[in-house]
Structure 1
Amino acid sequence: MKGEKAPLFDENHGGGTLRTIGIYPIYAAIQLFGAPLKSFYFKQLIVKNIDLGGTCIFEYKDYKVTMLISKINLTNDSISEIYGENGTLRFHSLYDIRTISYRSIINDIEEMISEPISDNSLLYEITEFSEWILMKNETAYREQKSITLKAISIIEQALNGGT
């Protein structure tokens, strides 16, 4: 109806940036670093209190992970980076990885360490799911379910100011 928020943006209906596209970097962070001790989300409320993006911070014992998440990013070049002591790991499109490269601090040379598996970005995921179903792989199902439930819990904590 006219004047109402679309469900995509309405947090009362599971919308908002963190609950929709924010799930991708959160899944990646959980799988790379484990569950954080605390999580926070700082919304970028632009239009009529609609969450169009923000900054999500995961606190771990010895470091923090910062994710910039946006529904209004106008670039097609989505790069995610992990900064380490010896260099930077770069993922071209984290939720749909096209390439992975590493740039060393020592020699400032960027080396491609991965190429896409297929031109169809969903082929790998569909193949994995199909194999789990056909092989009745309950272990894989339970692992993915656990990550999903963990991600939902972390999102809710972040939306509630870390509590």
Structure 2
Amino acid sequence: MTKQSQHKTINWGIIGLGNIANKFAQDLLTIEDAQLYAVASRSQEKADAFASTYHANKAYNSYEALVKDSNIDAVYIATPHALHKENTLLCLEHGIAVLCEKPFAMNAEEVNTMIAKAREKNVLLMEALWTYFLPHYQYVLQELKNETFGRVLKLEADFGFYRKFDESTRLFKKSLGGGSLLDIGIYPIFAALSSLGIPKDIKADATFFENGADSSCNIVFNYDNGTTANLKSTLLEDTPTEATFYCEKGTIKINSGFFMPTTVTLISDNKEETIDFNYKTIGYNYETLHFNNLLREGKVESDVMTFEFSKKLIKLLDDVRSNIKLEY
């Protein structure tokens, strides 16, 4: 009998207790047959406070202590990018399923190591790119697949917000994978990959902070069929943060905050229709529900966020980094 089938409720652990972990924990409270069982931080005080807020049973002051808790079925890893590989391998070695925040790791080599370990241990591993599981995004992918408005001619997708440069914070710290590309540029790139596939060539240019982390990145993907994707990430200004698919017979626009719960506008024959998906949560529950189902079914890989997709995504990020000469 597998560990996850021994009890109905899936016991979650969280490693890394920053902003995104709070959002994940908040939505976990909305899911039946799952609970936040344990959390871990390098600070006991921070772990205790987080556990109290989200009703976790245990609060650990080390990741090593958490993975030794045999009651934990799955761990959500929400540490800085540069730690994803190390933290994932730690959990997999202890036979614990892992939902690891995007980007999966710093480069393709690290991702391949993580996937190999998951296969070796026969333990579920998935990249937590929540957008893929959101109903509005799945709706758009289906519309594009059906060619409701014909073939996509051009995609424009951006993600930008302004933050004052502060090298002491994770967002700007190059050694932790800080900068616009890995943190937010992954979303426009994801939009292109999930809808259009692998481009035939990539052109990219970037601006940089004084410490070498990228402050903005402009990317163009060109496809064999003539389709183009114009993608942008920036920490220098607030941008619309939309994804717009210009098709032969109309336009599909994922409105502001395209990567998170939002609305979709369909434009055709001078008519506009905006679809509201009536979200009631932050949106992290959708990927978690999917992961819980995989765990209960004894699966070791997602059929949505597949290993192959994660490999393609990190390779695109690596290729863009090569284009803009960004090294970590």
Taking structure 1 as the reference length, what is the TM-score of the superposition? 0.79
Q: What amino acid does structure 2 have at the position aligned with 1:84?
A: C
Corresponding position of 1:140:
302
State the aligned residue count. Answer: 157
Candidates 119, 126, 132, aligned match of 2:281: 119
1:82 matches 2:245: yes
1:58 matches 2:221: yes
Rounded to whole Å, the distance in 2 between the matches of 1:31 and 1:20 is 18
1:102 matches 2:266: yes
Q: Mark the runs of 5 or more structure 1 residues left unpaired by the alignment.
A: none
The question of whether the paired residues in 2 share the 8 Å contact of 1:41 and 1:54 is answered with yes
CA distance 1:9–1:39, shift in 2 (3 Å): farther
Rounded to whole Å, the distance in 2 between the matches of 1:10 and 1:41 is 22
Q: What amino acid does structure 2 have at the position aligned with 1:112?
A: T
Shift of 1:111: 1.0
Shift of 1:11: 4.0
Shift of 1:142: 8.4
Shift of 1:12: 4.6
Rounded to whole Å, the distance in 2 between the matches of 1:141 and 1:35 is 19
SS in 1 for 2:179: coil
The question of whether the paired residues in 2 share the 8 Å contact of 1:91 and 1:97 is answered with no
Corresponding position of 1:25:
188
Shift of 1:136: 2.2
Corresponding position of 2:317:
155
Rounded to whole Å, the distance in 1 between the matches of 2:310 and 2:174 is 19
Q: Which has the higher contact order (CA 8 A, sep 6+)?
A: 1
Could you say which structure has the higher helix fraction?
Answer: 2
Could you say which structure has the higher strand fraction?
Answer: 1
Shift of 1:116: 4.1
Q: What amino acid does structure 1 have at the position aligned with 2:238?
A: L
Rounded to whole Å, the distance in 1 between the matches of 2:223 and 2:201 is 7
User: Which stretch of structure 1 is more off in the superposition, 134-143 or 35-44?
Assistant: 134-143
